[in-house]
Amino acid sequence: MSHWTWDYNTDDSAHITGGLPPGVIAEVERIATELSALGRDAEAVGRPTGRTGGLREFDILGGRGFINFLAVPRHECVYVCGITWYE
């Protein structure tokens, strides 16, 4: 089992989640929990494909939006950096 955690990539999570419907925030947090359970393998999830590391992008809610995240092995943490939601 992974000891990784997840967090928003800012001290003020409202900066990333502000104005989003509660269901979208819940889905993002669910996905972040799943990504952290992957541990180091989270570095290869989503786009860009064919390489690991760096800022990653992952679709949410059937392509109605996406999250940007960083998987940082040194911190054993997945950081949610941004959420794009198409209303």
**Per-residue pLDDT, 11:** 84
CB 77, CB 4: distance < 8 Å = yes
Domain locations in the chain as residue ranges: 5-85
What's residue 80's pLDDT? 98
CA-CA-CA-CA dihedral for 71, 84, 27, 60, to nearest 10: -80
Could you tell me the mean pLDDT of each successive run of 10 residues in the chain, 87 residues long? 89 91 97 96 94 95 96 97 94
| Cβ atoms of 29 and 37 closer than 8 Å | no
Predicted pLDDT at 1: 60
